[in-house]
Amino acid sequence: MTRPLPVDRSQRRFPIEELVGQIADLLKTEPRTAYDLARLTHYSVATCRLRVAELERVGRAHRERVNTPTGCQYVWHYGPSPSRGEALGIFGIPQQSAYRVYPAINRRDPLVAALFGEAGVRP
């Protein structure tokens, strides 16, 4: 039985700086999705998402959510994102309403009444 050759792990790593530079150059030409970036750079979609998120973190790229017939996806643009106030526009921050008091239903569920008796009647 022969032993497998030792694996040089340095060859298996992604060239991070080169890939980030490639993605930045592609985004400079036009906005693209992560799938477009993966197809053009010949890396996986997950790797491209990770690297473009790194660009977003340092302020060199930003994303925009776009609704499509099959769902939604993010389109990445080169450059810093617009300020949050401009992005929200006149709509402001969305708020969720909460109820503090629920309307009373003055009757008992028929199944509960059949199993446990009418409400307010104690044996």
Per residue in 28-69, pLDDT tens?
Answer: 999 999 999 999 988 889 999 999 988 988 888 998 888 888
91 lies in a domain? yes
Is there a domain that residue 28 lies in? yes
CB 26 within 8 A of CB 40: yes
- Whichever domain contains 52, its CATH number is 1.10.10.10
Look up residue 4 and give its two tokens: 């497998």
Residue 122 lies in a domain: no
Q: Are 46 and 70 spatial neighbours (Cβ–Cβ below 8 Å)?
A: no
Residues 20, 10: Cα–Cα separation, whole Å: 18
Instruction: State yes or no: pLDDT of 118 exceeds 90.
Output: no
pTM, 2 dp: 0.55
DSSP letter at 74 equals E
In a domain, 43, yes or no: yes
**Is residue 119 domain-resident?**
no
**What is the domain range of residue 35?**
13-96
117 Rama class: left (phi>0) / alpha (psi -120 to 50) / beta = left
Domain annotation covers residue 7: no
61-94 confidence digits (pLDDT tens) = 998 888 888 888 899 999 887 764 454 444 455 6
Number of domains in the chain: 1
